[in-house]
Every structure is written in structure tokens, then in C-alpha cells.
């Protein structure tokens, strides 16, 4: 796949200092093969590529804001399994083999086991939803995802009343994911949702964008999209779904519990300890564009605020 380079953004603006050192270790220690890949030229082609998907557009759940370009979406990524800077995933993710693929389902459900990607996808009609994506580093995008409601998938496994949470895991394979060769996080990547969050109609399993099969750097072949939460909740390259009675301890909670809470709802009134979350910068709009106000729940408050009625969102951040 041919791509342009993403805009240069100061690391102090987009990357927490605690991972900046880890990024430098990654670049220094990944070896000659990774160095050659990282140095490979990025060709100019900003058009969607990959296999086209059959889908319908869902205007009811889509924002009317203009979507970011294919180039923005596929070359400016958080995917630490392929490096901690924003451009490494688009260069290194070709190492990932998204087919064949399987997902293991376990825990408090009547139907468990290991299912092929085809098993997972076959019953579901795909739709396009244009969602905002807000990242904790105070940048945002608008992305035309193609996928289906997560709740429709979970119902197939018939979770029991004991299932209060859903835990997800990313593939762990350092041969395919070179970022996992360094202890940037406690691999594999783990995320989780409360059952009502997982079953909410806004939460989707994405398998594509811009009408094409999802590129590796964007989380192929299966990723979550939870549009009212910060982007790290939308776990990529899922290989395990576990119905849990207790709240899972997620990767970023383990790494920095005072900075990355379990709920991760977009909240302009709750700052990250090292920067404000009150405003954000839209990727692709120009480095000198005035930052825009961050919207509560990323603009989806009308649909999801009731899920957190009575909760102290400064404590449960």
C-alpha cells in the first residue's frame, strides 16, 4: 500500500513523556531489519485501497462532519505493537497476517470456543458509520468505519447473568508485531467494557474503513470502535473475548493507573495529569489551526450520558 508521510507534530504534544523514552529504545534496539523497513520511502497515494466491502450507510449514527482523508487515517496511528510514534504502524504493519484469523470466546456465556474470522463475520450485515475519534493526546479525527454492532455479536454467545464485563485481547506475536519485543506495555494488550457499554448500539466491531477492508495499521481484521471514549479503549486486532464477572484490569490501567482510567469517557473537565483535555486538534486541518473545544462524551452525550447517571466522572475517569 502506498502512502504519504503524516504531518510532523512535536512529540511533546502528541506523546506522553513516559513512553517517549520507550520509543527511543524501540528505534535503537529493533535491529537492522526494522531499521530498513522504517527507513523505506512512503509513496504518494492517498486513495483508499484494499478489497471493497458490501455495506449500507447508516446515517442515523453518523456525524455530519467531513471525514478525514484516507491518508490521515492510515498514516497517523496509535498502535504500540508496531511502535510508539504515529508513523511506524503504517510502515511496519505489513508484518501482520490478518488471515487466517480466529477469535476465542470464554467465560460466563453458554456458547464458548474458538471461531474463525468467517464464523464471526458471516451472519452480520455491514454498515458504514462516520464516527469521531478522540485520542487522549488531544487530537481527533472523523472516520468512516465499516462494521456491525458489537452487541449483535455478543448475543450470539448467550452471555449469562454472571457476565458483568467483557474483556478483549489483542494478538500477541512479536514476530508479527515488532513493538511487542520491548516492554513498553504488559503484553498482550487488554481492554474491557461494562456489559451495558458493550451492548450499546453505538459500539461497533469495525472490519473496514472508507468502504475497504481494514488496513493492518488500523487494527485488522477486527477492532472495536467506542466513539464516546478515548481511542485507547477501541482495541485492535482482537483474538479473545472473555465474559467476566469482575472488572478486568486493562493495559493502560496497569501501566499508569493515575492517568488512564477504566472508563476513559471523553471529558473536557478532567485533565490528563500532564496536559489539558479541554481542547483538541483535528488531524489534517493544519498544524496552526486553532484548537476546538472538546465535547463531553466526544459529542455523543445525548446517546450515552444516561449510562453513567449517578457516577462521579472525576473519580471514575
Domain annotation covers residue 7: no
Q: What is the mean pLDDT of residues 204-222?
A: 98
- What pLDDT score does 45 carry? 53
- pLDDT at residue 227 tops 60: yes
Tell me, what CATH number does 130's domain have?
3.90.420.10
Residues 6+ apart with CB under 8 A from 127: 55, 56, 57, 58, 146, 147, 148
Q: Is 41 inside a domain boundary?
A: no
Q: Cβ distance 194 to 164 under 8 Å?
A: yes
**Is 83 inside a domain boundary?**
no
- pLDDT digits 0-9 by tens, 163-201: 999 999 999 999 999 999 999 999 999 999 999 999 999
What percent of the chain lies above the pLDDT cut of 90?
83
* Measured CA angle at 78 (ends 77, 79), to 5 deg: 105
pLDDT of residue 114: 98
For residue 59, tell me if it sits in a domain. yes
Domain enclosing residue 296, as ranges: 53-70+98-308
Q: Report if residue 105 sits inside a domain.
A: yes
Q: What is the pLDDT of residue 290?
A: 77
How far apart, in Å, do the first and last CA atoms of the chain sit? 38
The C-alpha cell 481511542 sits at 231
Q: What pLDDT does 285 receive?
A: 85
pLDDT value at position 46? 74
| pLDDT score, position 280 | 95
Q: Taking 80 as the threshold, does the pLDDT of residue 37 lie above it?
A: no
Assigned C-alpha cell, 27: 528505534
Q: What is the pTM of this model?
A: 0.86
- Tens of pLDDT, residue by residue over 105-144, are 999 999 999 999 999 999 999 999 999 999 999 999 999 9
Identify whether 286 is part of a domain. Answer: yes
Decide if pLDDT at 10 tops 90.
no
Residue 289: predicted pLDDT: 76
Residue 26 lies in a domain: no
Dihedral through CA 153, CA 49, CA 282, CA 180, nearest 10?
70
Domains contained in the chain, number? 1
Q: Has residue 142 been placed in a domain?
A: yes
Amino acid at each position: 500500500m502506498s502512502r504519504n508521510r503524516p504531518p510532523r507534530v512535536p512529540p511533546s504534544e502528541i506523546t506522553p513523556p513516559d513512553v517517549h523514552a520507550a520509543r527511543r529504545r524501540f528505534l535503537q534496539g529493533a535491529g537492522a531489519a526494522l531499521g530498513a523497513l522504517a527507513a523505506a520511502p512512503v509513496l504518494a497515494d492517498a486513495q483508499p485501497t484494499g478489497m471493497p466491502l458490501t455495506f449500507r450507510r447508516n446515517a442515523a449514527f453518523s456525524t455530519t462532519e467531513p471525514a478525514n482523508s484516507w491518508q490521515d487515517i492510515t498514516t497517523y496511528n496509535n498502535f504500540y505493537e508496531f511502535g510508539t510514534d504515529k508513523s511506524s504502524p503504517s510502515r511496519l504493519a505489513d508484518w501482520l497476517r490478518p488471515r487466517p484469523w480466529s477469535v476465542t470466546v470464554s467465560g460466563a456465556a453458554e456458547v464458548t470456543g474458538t471461531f474463525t474470522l468467517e464464523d464471526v463475520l458471516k451472519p452480520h450485515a455491514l454498515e458504514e458509520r462516520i464516527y469521531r475519534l478522540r485520542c487522549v493526546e488531544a487530537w481527533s479525527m472523523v472516520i468512516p468505519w465499516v462494521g456491525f454492532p458489537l452487541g449483535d455479536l455478543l448475543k450470539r454467545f448467550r452471555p449469562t447473568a454472571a457476565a458483568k464485563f467483557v474483556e478483549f485481547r489483542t494478538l500477541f506475536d512479536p514476530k508479527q508485531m515488532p513493538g511487542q519485543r520491548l516492554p513498553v506495555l504488559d503484553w498482550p494488550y487488554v481492554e474491557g467494557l461494562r456489559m451495558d457499554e458493550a451492548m450499546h448500539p453505538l459500539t461497533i466491531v469495525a472490519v473496514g474503513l472508507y468502504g475497504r477492508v481494514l488496513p493492518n495499521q488500523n487494527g485488522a481484521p477486527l477492532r472495536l470502535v467506542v466513539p464516546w471514549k478515548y481511542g485507547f479503549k477501541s482495541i485492535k486486532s482482537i483474538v479473545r473475548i472473555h465474559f467476566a464477572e469482575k472488572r478486568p484490569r486493562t493495559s493502560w490501567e496497569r501501566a499508569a493507573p493515575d492517568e488512564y482510567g477504566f472508563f476513559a469517557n471523553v471529558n473536557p473537565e478532567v485533565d490528563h495529569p500532564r496536559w489539558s483535555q479541554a481542547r483538541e486538534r483535528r488531524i489534517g486541518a493544519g498544524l496552526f489551526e486553532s484548537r476546538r473545544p472538546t465535547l463531553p462524551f466526544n459529542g455523543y452525550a445525548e446517546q450515552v450520558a444516561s449510562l453513567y447517571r449517578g457516577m462521579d466522572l472525576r473519580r471514575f475517569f
